[in-house]
Amino acid sequence: MPHIRVRGLAFDELESIADILIENLAELTDTPNSHFTLEFQATTYLAVGGASPAYPFFEVLWFDRGDATKRKAALVIEDLVRPLVETGQDITVLFRDLQGKDYYENGEHF
Domain assignment present for residue 17? The answer is yes
Domain assignment present for residue 97? The answer is yes
Stretch among 15-24, 45-54, 60-69 having the lowest mean pLDDT:
45-54
Whole-model pTM: value is 0.90
- pLDDT, one tens digit per residue, over 6-22 is 999 999 999 999 999 99
- The pLDDT of residue 15 is 97
CATH code of 84's domain: 3.30.429.10
Nearest 10 degrees: Cα torsion 68, 72, 77, 78: 100
Domain assignment present for residue 57? The answer is no
Domain assignment present for residue 58? The answer is no
What domain range is 17 assigned to? 3-51+63-109
The number of distinct structural domains making up the chain is: 1
Q: What is the mean pLDDT of residues 59-65?
A: 95
Domain assignment present for residue 56? The answer is no
DSSP designation for 105: E
Domain assignment present for residue 96? The answer is yes
- The pLDDT of residue 93 is 98
- pLDDT, one tens digit per residue, over 66-82 is 999 999 999 999 999 99
